[in-house]
Amino acid sequence: MSKIYERLEKCYACFKSKINFEPDVALVLGSGLGDFADGIKTEAVLDYGDIEDFPISTVQGHKGRFVFGYVGDVKVVIMQGRVHYYEGYKMEDVVLPVRLMKMMGAKILLLTNAAGGVNKDFRAGDFMLISDHINMAPSPLIGENAEELGVRFPDMSNIYDRDLREIVRNTARDLGISLQEGVYIQLTGPNYESPAEIRMVRTLGADAVGMSTACEAVAANHAGLKTVGISCISNMACGITDKPLTHAEVQETADKAAPLFKKLITESVIRLGKAL
């Protein structure tokens, strides 16, 4: 048995000793978007610190806990705050929560994040359905392969599942919510990008930039967890405008977008649940 899987089993055993719940859909809530979990029918809450050998979120505004409950009739587990590579964790730690939610029973993963807009047609407050990504952080699959989770060389041609994207796209249309679509690029952070770096990622084909998500999607795909992702464009990236970037601005924009975000995510999860 791989060391990665041994550690995962320890975390799972700790979870099972505290929570009796098997989710169908897993959600990861990005910066400023965590309040969504406070509005669901909650069955249980588990702080990351109460799970043996589990990484702790240190970013301001990230509560650092799993919330278990229902969105409509769909059983969900929600990460209220994620772990980032820039916090000093190994990439194995960063993707451990996603792998654990798969082991909990989740079949679909919905990733969200606050991202900088690279596409000049975007505006702060827009939502972007992630069609693909460019990962410029270390791959979470480097090192020993957890064969119990997936193959050594997994295909990545459909990381953000086409059928799930169609469900979210149709949901937004039916709700009258404008939904952009594009490529997300993950850099390491924690510093915001320079104007030259934004010119570079635009040349590479990125529409939005952030410090998370792509690595989680890779690990989920490796483990056979169907994935879909939505970015909240919290600000235009450095160099697109002359305005300096701050984390407070990211949270403020996400807070303003929260009512529409909650509406979109709620109905999307209900429809994703019906697709199981």
Lookup: tokens for 199: 């010119």
3-274 has which CATH code?
Answer: 3.40.50.1580
Q: How far is CA 227 from CA 10, 52, 110, 111, 231, in A?
A: 25, 26, 6, 7, 14
Q: Would you call 114 a catalytic residue per the annotation? A: yes
Q: Would you call 148 a catalytic residue per the annotation? A: no
Point out the catalytic residue in the list 12, 26, 62, 217: 62
Q: Would you call 212 a catalytic residue per the annotation? A: yes
Report domain extents, the chain: 3-274
Q: Would you call 221 a catalytic residue per the annotation? A: no
Point out the catalytic residue in the list 89, 131, 247, 249: 247
**Upper half-sphere CA count for residue 174 (Cβ side, 13 Å):** 12
Query: Going by C-beta distance under 8 Å and a sequence separation of 6 or more, which residues neighbour residue 44?
Result: 18, 19, 21, 67, 68, 69
Q: Would you call 84 a catalytic residue per the annotation? A: yes
Distance CA 66, CA 27 (A): 10
Q: Do 269 and 71 touch, CB atoms closer than 8 A?
A: yes
Closest-CA residue to 194 (of 237, 247, 250): 237
Point out the catalytic residue in the list 124, 211, 217, 223: 211
User: Is residue 56 predicted with pLDDT exceeding 90?
Assistant: no
pLDDT band at 62 (very low <50, low <70, confident <90, very high): low
Please compute the mean of the pLDDT values over residues 247-263 and round it to a whole number.
79
Q: Would you call 48 a catalytic residue per the annotation? A: no
Q: Would you call 211 a catalytic residue per the annotation? A: yes
Q: Would you call 17 a catalytic residue per the annotation? A: no
For the chain, count helices (H), then strands (E).
6, 9
Point out the catalytic residue in the list 12, 26, 31, 222: 31
User: Is residue 58 predicted with pLDDT exceeding 80?
Assistant: no
**High-pLDDT (> 90) share of the chain, %:** 79
pLDDT on residue 123: 92
Q: Would you call 128 a catalytic residue per the annotation? A: no
Please compute the mean of the pLDDT values over residues 139-150 and round it to a whole number.
95
Q: Would you call 178 a catalytic residue per the annotation? A: no
DSSP letter string over 161-189? -HHHHHHHHHHHHHHT---EEEEEEE---
Bridge partner residues of 111 (DSSP): 28, 229
Mean pLDDT, the chain, whole residue set: 93
Point out the catalytic residue in the list 119, 212, 221, 234: 212
pLDDT on residue 244: 72
**Phi-psi map region of 59: left, alpha, beta (phi>0 left; psi -120 to 50 alpha):** beta
Over residues 160-212, the pLDDT tens digits come to 999 999 999 999 999 999 999 999 999 999 999 999 999 999 999 999 999 99
